[in-house]
Amino acid sequence: MKIGISCEEFHQDELSNLLGTNFYKYAIKTNGGILLNPQKLCLGLVPKICKGIDVYENTKIEKFDIDQGTLAFTNEGFKIQAKKIIVAINSWMPELKIKQNFSIPLILTSSITRSLTINERLALGNPKPWGVLSVKPTGATLRYTYDDRIMIRNTSEPHFEHNFNYKKCIEKHKKGLLRRFPQFPNIDIENSWSGFISVSRNGKPVFGNLDEKIFFAGAYNGCLLYTSDAADEMQCVDLGGRRIIKK
């Protein structure tokens, strides 16, 4: 490609052989991308590169004060003092009155099937592990895992109190799987889960400071993988870990 990223093009017949479904019509595979578990990455980095670091989970910060030193106050009345503070709470920046009109939290929900049987794997052509991303920022994401499961994420819900319908999301997952794999009408979903991302109006993250000692970073949206069934309107995918550049 002109921008220097090594890639390969695939058409429907090739994709059907690779993925076990003829749902997708065209794809670009970009080389060099990797998949990371962010929780494991953080837990691995902290003891390796940050000596003397303490991690406190489930500790909600309600406000800051710089008049009597740089302090963060928890919801249980405790004070945390530091020379400098970086606020990296992504979806929840508006709760601390940071960039209140800049971003909104979205809830993403994923489901994963049980491991496929030998006969089911053969029906797919016994594929190797793969992952597909829609060409659209709001597109569905699917993965075929190393233990022969299919994972799908094709929903996004703006986070407003009491508006989230978890069961409805799982039903969309089932429909999305059936559209791609009609040969498995009764495949079981073994687990589902939800998480938050932060989406800004222009799709870009933000970094700034409240004063010379308190900084903030947010509006990170999963490498533009926030989701919607609208992805199915454009049946093009990226088989790697980077955004597609359409030719």
pLDDT tops 60 at residue 233: no
Q: At 70, is the pLDDT very low, low, confident or very high (cuts 50, 70, 90)?
A: confident
Q: How far is CA 152 from CA 11, 26, 111, 187, in A?
A: 22, 19, 6, 13
Output the pLDDT for position 147: 93
pLDDT tops 50 at residue 235: no
Q: At 2, is the pLDDT very low, low, confident or very high (cuts 50, 70, 90)?
A: low
The side-by-side arrangement of strands in the sheet containing 79-81 is 61-65, 71-74, 79-81
Of 130, 131, 150, nearest to 141 by C-alpha is: 131
* Distance in angstroms (rounded) separating the CA atoms of residues 198 and 55: 23
Cβ contact 216:208 at 8 Å: yes
pTM, entire model: 0.75
Segment 65-86 shows an average pLDDT of 82
Q: What is the dihedral of CA 9, 13, 14, 17, to 10 degrees?
A: 150
Segment 71-91 shows an average pLDDT of 85
Output the pLDDT for position 228: 31
Segment among 47-56, 77-86, 107-116 with least mean pLDDT: 47-56
pLDDT tops 50 at residue 227: no
- Token pair, residue 79, equals 């004070």
Higher pLDDT, 151 or 135: 151
Q: How far is CA 8 from CA 28, 30, 43, 224, in A?
A: 6, 7, 34, 21
